[in-house]
Structure formats: structure tokens, C-alpha cells
Amino acid sequence: MNKPDPYRVAYERERKARLLAEHLLDNKTRSLYDNCIKLESTVKALKTTQQQLIQSEKMASIGQLAAGVAHEINNPIGYSISNLSMLSEYVDSFLLLDDFMISNLPALASQDVAQSYQQLREQEDIDYIRGDVKSMMAETGKGLNRVKEIVSNLNKVSHSGSFEKELCDINMLIEESLKVVWNELKYCLTVNKHFTGLPKIYCHPGEINQVLLNMFINAAHATKDKGALDITTGIKQEKGREYLTIEISDQGEGIPQKVINKIFDPFFTTKPVGVGTGLGLSVSFGIIEKHKGKIEVASEENQGTTFTIYLPY
């Protein structure tokens, strides 16, 4: 009986081991690839969910402002409608005067016609109408432009926006957000703006508007009596990097030190039930972090709170 060739046996053993290793490696590779696909899908779903959460919180903020915005729109619309009604009467007077002139064209030189014409002018108060109509038209135009501005700013802030960043003026974004939230602020806060000329930066404007809305609404809710809201923009250097900064300071109740580390946690709120969702600051923190920035907070009870937003450029 021939003995097995030791070299042949060693070769077969090595070949089988190699095939087994290749099989195991192939399974591992396939499993790793499948996990990568699943992870990519999960990350995409999380991004979509985050975007939906931001939009939901934004619409919740807009909902809180709805009554105030309706009031802001109602005023200029009301006096514009009133002015249009009066203008309609003025037009009737001018038409009546014009009809008189047309019907008496052949006798315009007559003293009686001239006297009748003057009486008609006095009866319709034409001199007053001539003085009032231009100012009324200007007032109506101003009112309708105010409505257009409110709707335009509301649309900018509430729009979900694109996934692409845009070149934006931070000071302008602050102005837009203030206009939308103004009816919420004007009864309890005096707004002091201390703006520095800033370079434009790439950001998601709708998301930055959302952060600012949250901050402004929180300041209004934190202020019981008439107070001040100071908004300061500038440039700061930190650890060799330059940031655009937005400081938002109120003179409200302040945040207790025992909870100040929790204010950015989802669903945490110090507001009464039905006033806050507990998502505003959490969403704001996520938005600024997404922009590679950060938010710092300093607060003292009964003294006020300052939020500082850092945005790299």
C-alpha cells in the first residue's frame, strides 16, 4: 500500500484552508457591504426626520404667532378697505362734475352755468377731495405694501428651504425674523439692535430664521413686565478661528442654575403646559451644530439670559 505523499497532503490541506478563508472572507465582505447599505439608509432617514422635525417646530412657532400676524395684517387691510370705499365716493363726485361739464359744453361761457358749476363743486366738496385723495392713495399703498412685507417675511421664515446652503446676510436674517415676530415682542420688549457690518456666509437661511424665532419668542415669554431685548452681532476669534456671533440678551426671569444644563435636551421646558413644546432650543442647538457652530448660554435668575450663537465663516 502506497503512503500518501506528504507534500500532496500539505498542499490539499493548504488549498482547503485557503478556500475556507476565501469563503469566510466573502461572507464577511458581503455582510459588511449589507451593513453599510443599511447604515447609509438609516443616516438618510435620520436626515429626513431631522428636517421634518425642524419644519414641524418651525410651524409650531408660526402657529404661536398666527394671531399676532393676523392682527398685523388686519390693521392695514382694514384702513385700505375703508380708504377704497371713500375713494369710490370721491370718484362718483368727480364723475358727477364731469357729467355736468359735458352736458353744458355749449353754454360754458354763460354766467349761470359758471355759477351752477361752482355750486356743484361746493356741494361735492371738490376742494377737500383734491387735497385728500393723494394722501389717501399714499396711505393705502403704504398699508398694502405692509401686508405684502409681512406675508413675504412670513413666507421666507416658514419655507422649508433647500438642502443647499445659500450666501446670506446674517443682519438681514435677523431683521426678517424680527418682522415676523414683532407683534409678539412689541407689547413686552423694547428691541435694541447693535449690528456690526458682517461678511456674508453660506448657511440655510430658513433654519437660521428658525433659531432666531425660537430665541425671540423665548425672550418674550421670559419677560413679565416691559423689558429690553438687546441683539448684538459681531466677529470673534476663538482658538485661531473666526466666528460671526449673534448675542441675544433679555431682562427676563432667567434660568435656574439647576436646570441650565438641561435646556437643550429634547422636550425639556420650564414653560407652563400648552405654552412650549420643549423642542425649540433642542432644534436650535441641532441647527447650529449642523452649521459647525455652537450656542452658549449665560443666565442669572431674575436678571435675564444671554444666548450667544457662533457661526464659522
184 found inside a domain = yes
305 found inside a domain = yes
Q: Which of 53-62, 115-124, 128-137, 286-295 has the highest mean pLDDT?
A: 286-295
211 found inside a domain = yes
Average pLDDT, the chain: 78
Q: Is the pLDDT of residue 57 over 90?
A: no
- Which pLDDT score, from 0 to 100, does residue 175 have? 92
193 found inside a domain = yes
E strand or H helix at 305, and its extent? strand 304-312
Domain containing 261: what range? Answer: 161-313
Instruction: Report the percentage of the chain scoring pLDDT > 70.
Output: 77
Could you tell me the three cell numbers for 264? 437643550
Sign of the torsion angle spanned by Cα atoms 256, 207, 74, 129: positive
pLDDT-derived band at 310, boundaries 50, 70, 90? very high
48 found inside a domain = no
Q: Is 70 helix (H, G, I), strand (E, B) or coil?
A: helix
| Gyration radius of the chain over CA positions | 35
Q: 59-63, 213-217, 256-260 — which is least confidently predicted?
A: 59-63
Contact of 76 with 82, CB cutoff 8 Å:
no
CATH number at residue 253: 3.30.565.10
151 found inside a domain = no
What are the angstrom distances between the C-alpha of 80 and each of 49, 141, 144?
43, 8, 7
Total domains present in the chain: 1
User: How large is the average pLDDT for residues 23-46?
Assistant: 75
| Number of neighbours of residue 44 by Cβ within 10 angstroms | 10
107 found inside a domain = no
User: How large is the average pLDDT for residues 167-192?
Assistant: 88
The Cα–Cα gap between 277 and 159 comes to: 20
- The residue among 226 and 71 whose pLDDT is bigger is 226
Nearest CA among 253, 245, 255, 177 for reference residue 217: 177
Q: Which of 18-22, 135-139, 233-237 has the highest mean pLDDT?
A: 233-237
Counting Cβ atoms within 10 Å, is residue 97 exposed (0-12), middle (13-18) or buried (19+)? Answer: middle
52 found inside a domain = no
